[in-house]
């Protein structure tokens, strides 16, 4: 038996990312792992409903933004509060792409990772 555990995003400013994920998606830290020498911190975020976690990795010595290539990957969330969430993300200014024909949109986090928002019934 095998099942999903977590997905990782490397982040440049951990506090900024934690704030974004809490405000934009309601994700909260569920566990933290620090390197003994302080060279990295792993913060695992959860939605409080599923076991799936988003791991944010912060590297102390990293100063340059991450190269995300053409951003041809993304994480997706579904919601039964699509319109309210869309309005919130508009107010936050984090919507980076909308596809009305498919009824979805994407937000971008502080490091440029794309996150798809899908209505529950899709």
**Tens of pLDDT along 76-115?**
999 999 999 999 999 999 999 999 999 999 999 999 999 9
Q: Is residue 66 part of a domain?
A: no
Query: Domain containing 106: what range?
Result: 6-60+73-119
Q: Which residues pair with 45 in a beta bridge?
A: 29, 54
Q: How many domains does the chain have?
A: 1
Please give the pLDDT value at position 5: 86
Q: Is residue 1 part of a domain?
A: no
| CATH number of the domain to which 42 belongs | 3.10.180.10
**Tens of pLDDT along 27-66?**
999 999 999 999 999 999 999 999 999 999 999 999 999 9
Q: Is residue 42 part of a domain?
A: yes
Q: Give this prediction's pTM.
A: 0.91
């Amino acid at each position: 038996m095998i099942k999903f555990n977590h997905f990782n995003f490397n982040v440049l400013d951990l506090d900024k990312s934690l704030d974004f994920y809490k405000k934009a998606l309601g994700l909260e830290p569920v566990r933290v792992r620090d390197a003994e020498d302080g060279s990295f911190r792993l913060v695992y975020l959860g939605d409080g409903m599923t076991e799936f976690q988003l791991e944010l990795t912060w590297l102390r010595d990293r100063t340059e933004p991450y190269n995300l290539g053409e951003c041809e990957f993304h994480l997706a969330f579904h919601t039964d509060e699509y319109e309210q969430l869309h309005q919130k993300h508009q107010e936050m200014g984090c919507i980076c792409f909308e596809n009305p024909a498919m009824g979805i949109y994407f937000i971008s986090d502080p490091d440029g990772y794309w996150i798809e928002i899908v209505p529950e019934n899709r």
